[in-house]
Structure 1
Amino acid sequence: MDEVQYVTVHGHRRAYVRRGSGPVLLLLHGLACDHTTWTSVIDELAEDFTVIAPDLLGHGSSDKPRADYTLGGYANGMRDLLTVLGVDKVTVVGHSFGGGIAMQFAYQFPERTERMVLVSPGGLGPDVTPLIKLVQAPGWEATMALLTQPGVRHVGTTTLRMLSRVETKVTRDLDEVAEILESWRDRRTRFAIRHLVRAVIDWRGQIVTMSDRAYLTEAMPLAVVWGRDDLVIPAKHADNVRVLAPEARVEVFDRSGHFPHKDHPERFVQLVREFVATTEPASYSRARFRRLLKRGALAPVRQAEAGDAPVRPSPRPPRRSAQASPPSCRTSATAVGSSIA
């Protein structure tokens, strides 16, 4: 992977990696990770695309200020970073919390979004691992300060990495957990993560959902990838995608956890290549977007509770003409403000 580059936006230093040439892929990592979560796929993707993989504010080598850590704030930051880098349009690829940012980016800036690839994303159901909920618990900061002391941290991360070599559902992603624990030795990183988590979940689970704006998902190609053994955000949320965006491409990888792009990098790269090659980039129409907003949702859509069946909005009315609707491969997720992990 190329050397990390830096650019200052709004007074805050942003770290990013840029590789390759061709159509632009913006790779957004998940909560408490950084651009290295894409290490297993970035070289292959750079053979066909210009790949931009930033460290989100509060993560990795980017600054960690007292700032706006909401989904909207991150989407604005990605728009401004791309503008500084001279990039107008992207296919945005978001993992976990980064998937929530990807959906928010597409919702706020549809004119700059050509496609979306969501990898184990938040915002499609309330369920999330209790370990993330604990970030907002009293005493979490003091506990993490203790667990990230040099000796304790070394024992903990070494144990996690050793356990990750055991091929089970429970241990598969523990190497990533070790990396997260390493990053939390920085008090500023812990501050950013805690504020981020408070913005998107509560004790009942995820509080931000794409369901209430799913009626807008008609104009942008969408692919969703999940790991069947995901213990962070369950793969059953993929069923909601099939309901909310029935023309989307949805693939669930077997023998894979919360990081399917790491568990099966060759398959993931092939999926992205085929998806981009076989779909037309979205073309934003303000008039069409206005019509959709005026029409609104055809039926009230609520955030599902744990254990509910997938959200099932009323069917859309028939499309009047070919001119008024895109080909079937151009399913959208322009509409989303989603969340987590």
Structure 2
Amino acid sequence: MNLGTEDDPRIVRIGHQAGNGKGVPLLLFNGIGGNIELLAPLAEKMPEREIVVFDIPGVGQSDLPRWPYRLGGIARLAARILDRFGIDKVDVLGVSWGGAAAQAFACTCSQRCRRLILCATAPGVVMIPASPSVLWKMATPKRYMNADYARTVSGEIYGGDFRRNPALAAEMFRHVKYKSRLGYYLQLLAASGWTSIHWLPTLLQPTLLMAGADDPLVPLANAWLMHKLIRKSELKIFDCGHMFLMTRADESVAAIRQFLDKP
């Protein structure tokens, strides 16, 4: 779908699941380097719900942007995508990097966001950080390019089941359609210097925080911090690591359904 302008034409790849027409549609924001296919198994476990997800510019099959962007720009892009489908209000789920984008959407497009689900994410640069060795390995897209390297570092980056079974990396990354280093680094740049820490207490949306007990990349303390700051929030902790949406898919979907279907 072409969502660009005359000065900056670009094609944004969008995934849309029609659902059964009942309930509020769900907008998904993927993690860094992640394309639509990575979250497709999650969407398929909720066939009743209308779901919209897209490849961030420079990721998957979306065009590289002409200029660097910020998280607010991604939130506005998501709003334009919803307009194309005639969707006014959504529930929003963001994973890791996408959790920051989801927070930006909930803030800048607050009237369009009914409920918010933040998975394995943090309030930006003002967070309890991962160890330098984990951050260094995350800062490169090499794990998407080299299967042997992915198996080697997946336990250290993602924790949980990946520590016990590094072969899970091959299963997960087969869904990743790597595009370019530039697209990956533009995502890192978009979040650099960004934080929600000062306005999280003003969020009006009921929020579900989902986190892994063994998450080296986004330590669990960040979820507790956000739970304290977001007034209408609840916290769900999984006996897993960073990628619980994939490795604990059934349990994750059950928690998501329970939260979104509340009166």
Query: What TM bracket, shorter-length normalisation?
Result: 0.7 to 0.9
Query: Of the candidates 192, 200, 216, which is equivalent to residue 214 of structure 1?
Result: 200
What's the secondary structure of 1:270's corresponding residue?
Answer: helix
Does the Cα contact within 8 Å between 1:157 and 1:178 map onto a contact in 2? Answer: no
Seen in structure 2, the aligned counterparts of structure 1 residues 176 and 54 have a Cα distance that, compared at 3 Å, is farther
1:307-332 Cα offsets, whole Å, 9 max, x none, are xxxxxxxxxxxxxxxxxxxxxxxxxx
The 8 Å contact of residues 28 and 92 in structure 2, kept in 1 or not, is answered as: yes
**Where does the alignment leave 5 or more consecutive residues of structure 1 unmatched?**
1-6, 202-206, 280-341
Q: Deviations over 1:79-134 (max 9, x none)?
A: 11111121111101000111100110111011111110010113261414545456
CA RMSD of the aligned region, Å?
Answer: 3.2
Q: Trace 1:157-196 onto structure 2 (pairs within 5 A).
A: 167=161, 169=163, 175=169, 179=173, 183-184=177-178, 186=179, 189-196=180-187
The CA distance in 1 between the partners of 2:212 and 2:258, in whole Å, is 19
Asked whether the equivalents of residues 37 and 176 of structure 2 are also in contact (C-alpha less than 8 Å), the reply is: no
What corresponds to 1:63 in structure 2?
63
Q: Does structure 1 conserve the Cα–Cα contact (< 8 Å) formed by 2:34 and 2:176? A: no
How far does residue 42 in structure 1 lie from its aligned partner after superposition?
A: 1.0
**Structure 2: runs of 5 or more not aligned:** none
**DSSP 3-state at the match of 2:235:** strand
Q: Residues 169 and 257 of structure 1 are in contact (CA less than 8 Å); yes or no, is this contact kept in structure 2?
A: no
Change (3 A) 1:45 1:72: same
TM-score by length of 2: 0.82
| Cα distance change on mapping 1:135 and 1:278 into 2, 3 Å | closer
Matching of residue 239 in structure 1 with residue 240 in structure 2? no
**Alpha-carbon distance between aligned partners in 2 of 1:135 and 1:46, rounded to the nearest angstrom:** 32
Q: CA deviation at 1:40?
A: 2.9
Query: 1:171: how far off?
Result: 5.4
CA deviation map 1:216-255 (0-9, x unaligned): 12x211101011111211111111022112541111101x
Q: Deviations over 1:122-178 (max 9, x none)?
A: 326141454545677xxx79xx5xx95xxxx365457779999x9453756961797
Q: Distance in 2 between matches of 1:215 and 1:225?
A: 18
- 1:8 is aligned to 2:2: yes
User: Using a 3 Å threshold, how does the CA distance of structure 1 residues 108 and 182 change in structure 2: closer, same or farther?
Assistant: closer
Tell whether the 8 Å contact from 1:27 to 1:94 is kept in structure 2 after alignment. Answer: yes
Instruction: Evaluate the alpha carbon distance shift between residue 72 and residue 208 of structure 1 in structure 2; reply closer, same or farther with a 3 A threshold.
Output: same
Higher Cα radius of gyration: 1
Instruction: Return the TM-score normalized by structure 1.
Output: 0.64
Residue 260 of structure 1, aligned match among 217, 228, 244: 244
Specify which structure has the bigger relative contact order, considering alpha-carbon pairs within 8 angstroms and separated by 6 or more residues: 1
- The SS at the match of 1:13 is coil
Change in 2 beyond 3 A, CA 1:244/1:31: same
Partner of 1:277: 261
Aligned residue identity for 2:201: Y
Residues 27, 91 of structure 2: 8 Å contact kept: yes
